[in-house]
Amino acid sequence: MRDTGETWLPQPDLAEVDVQTVLAALADPVRLLIVRELNNVGESTCTALNVPVKVSTVSHHLGVLRECGIVSSRIDGNARPSRLRHDDLQRRFPGLLDAIINAAPPRTGEL
């Protein structure tokens, strides 16, 4: 991460994150929805994301995604905007994040 004078919350070095950790985090449907939303908007706070769960739930899931190395979150006053670590993940696991984001969701009634 570049030193831009901003304060960022701790996140793991992706060299120490295995693919199982990333896949397990993205297996949760709410976290997958959050990742897809962040992919569309670039950066957002938990209150601004279009996710059909409580803000506290979004905040929790963003924390899990950050701890797994999928998102970065910075401190901006009382807000904690988050963004995907897309380029970092692309270098560590080429094509993985794009494949997951672009995968068609299951049809209703299918697992």
Classify domain 16-102 at the CATH topology level: Arc Repressor Mutant, subunit A (1.10.10)
Measured in whole angstroms, the distance separating CA 85 from the mean position of its chain's CA atoms is 7
Domain boundaries, the chain: 16-102
**Span 42-87, pLDDT tens digits:** 999 999 999 999 999 999 999 999 999 999 999 999 999 999 999 9
DSSP of 37-79: HHHHHSEE-TTTS--SS-HHHHHHHHHHHHHTTSEEEEEBTTB
CA–CA distance, 51 with 75 (Å, rounded to integer): 21
In 10 A of CB 17, how many CB atoms?
21
**Span 1-10, pLDDT tens digits:** 455 668 999 9
